[in-house]
Homo-oligomer: A and B are copies of this chain.
Amino acid sequence: MINGSKVLDHPIRWAMVGGGKGSQIGYIHRSAALRDNNFQLVAGAFDINPERGMAFAAELGIDPDRCYPDYKTMFEKEAQREDGIEAVSIATPNSVHYEVCKAALEAGIHVVCEKPLCFSTEEGEELVALAKKKNLVVGVTYGYSGHQMIQQARQMIKNGDLGDIRVINMSFAFGGYNYKIEETNAAAKWRFDPKKAGPSFAMADVGTHCLYIIEAMIPDMKIDKVLCSKDAFVEGRELEDNAFTLMRLNGSEHVQEGAKVYCWSSSINCGARHGHVIRVVGSKASIEWDDERPNQMTYEIEGEPVRRLERGAGYLYEEARVEDRIGGGHAEGLFEAWANLYRRFALAIEGMSKGEEEYGDFWYPDVEAGLAGVKWIEKCVESANNGEVWVKY
């Protein structure tokens, strides 16, 4: 067990764009990054409103010289310092992700970015190329993927415990937007405005989490084609509040040719908190995981009793245990999942700097994963808009 021990000799000098006072997402970024001293918060441009942002930075104990009014100023000024920031996290509204990410990369700064990384595959490919050219890390905060049980699933699949995958049935279907919440809740309003939210709400907001989780579980997964049916059930919405995506997979090492993926993305699933459940069915066994009970995963070998795997247990794969912060039985939660991701971002940053990457089956949601999410949304929207037809991937 690592007990969250520090993994780097020197913490990475780190800043944030967005995620200011009262922001849930800003708080979880900081909690995760600062958890184990792998990052040190030294600068920030936390708010679209410069005064509010600078005041908040000061509250967080940041040197007044490094409380910036906006990200451009920050990147410029930090570049002039010997101890300038090495990495930045972007927790702004969606519509700004691309430009901030691009600016950071151009300034030679590693990036951690909220999903969606951007709004189009063109933008995404540009960022992929830029990151590669600059030899910089771009981590995308598909936070749920940081749970140790996702590691366990990945290793089980890799080791053939499930046999060949035939069906994946997954959903992230919550209920909070089943009425016209955007009329009274400002934080909900921008989500249905394509200019600010991009071409999708439900799929972009929650469906991409499902997508990334299965990408993480099955690294060589290849989507052959998709078909998407989307709806705006609550009157007057410009973007979908509910969608279903069918996918056909090509065969790969542990995937049967023609395997199917069923993905329900919804914000109108009354009564559900998250409804975020991933079931992977193989020729030998199935696994099922629910983000609301992240310390457990069921493992079902046909003809044997259903088993409930528990985080922290000795029977798990080593990869599912190295990030434990406390013994099994004790509930770890989403903050630990995020901290696991940030730990890996730190390792990736260090690894790339040093030209090394020797951490076993090391992975993290990277710039390609960010692009994959954007591409998936694009293809789904194309399918839905053309009459809910199959679209080649």
Using a CB–CB cutoff of 8 Å, the interface residues on chain A facing chain B are 1, 3-6, 22-24, 27-28, 31, 35, 37, 59-61, 162, 166-167, 169, 171, 173-176, 178-179, 227, 229, 231, 233, 242, 244, 246, 248, 256, 258, 260, 262, 264, 266, 268-274, 281-286, 291-295, 298-310, 313-315, 325-336, 387-390
Interface-centre pick from A61, A166, A173, A387 (highest chain B CB count, 10 A):
A166
Residues of B within 8 A of A315 (CB): 303-305
From B274, B302, B387, A271 is in contact (CB under 8 Å) with B302
Given A166-B231, A271-B286, A325-B335; 18 other pairs, CB 8 A cutoff: A4-B27, A24-B326, A28-B325, A28-B326, A169-B171, A262-B262, A270-B285, A271-B298, A271-B300, A273-B328, A274-B330, A292-B295, A293-B293, A293-B331, A294-B331, A305-B315, A331-B331, A332-B335
User: Do A270 and B282 form a contact, CB below 8 Å, given A246-B246, A305-B313?
Assistant: yes
User: Do residues B309 and A305 form an inter-chain contact, with CB atoms below 8 A?
Assistant: yes
Nearest CB on B from A7, distance (A): 12
**Which partner residue on chain B sits nearest A327 by CB separation?**
B24
Nearest CB on B from A179, distance (A): 7
Residues of B within 8 A of A291 (CB): 330-331
Main secondary structure on chain A at its contact with chain B? Answer: loop
- State how many copies of this chain the complex holds: 4
Q: Can you identify 29 A-B contacts, CB atoms within 8 angstroms?
A: A1-B24, A3-B23, A24-B326, A27-B326, A166-B242, A169-B173, A175-B300, A179-B302, A229-B246, A229-B248, A233-B256, A233-B258, A262-B262, A262-B264, A268-B283, A269-B281, A270-B285, A270-B300, A270-B301, A270-B302, A271-B298, A271-B300, A271-B302, A273-B310, A292-B331, A293-B331, A306-B308, A332-B333, A333-B334
From B6, B308, B327, A305 is in contact (CB under 8 Å) with B308
Bound: A196/B174 CA distance, A: 43
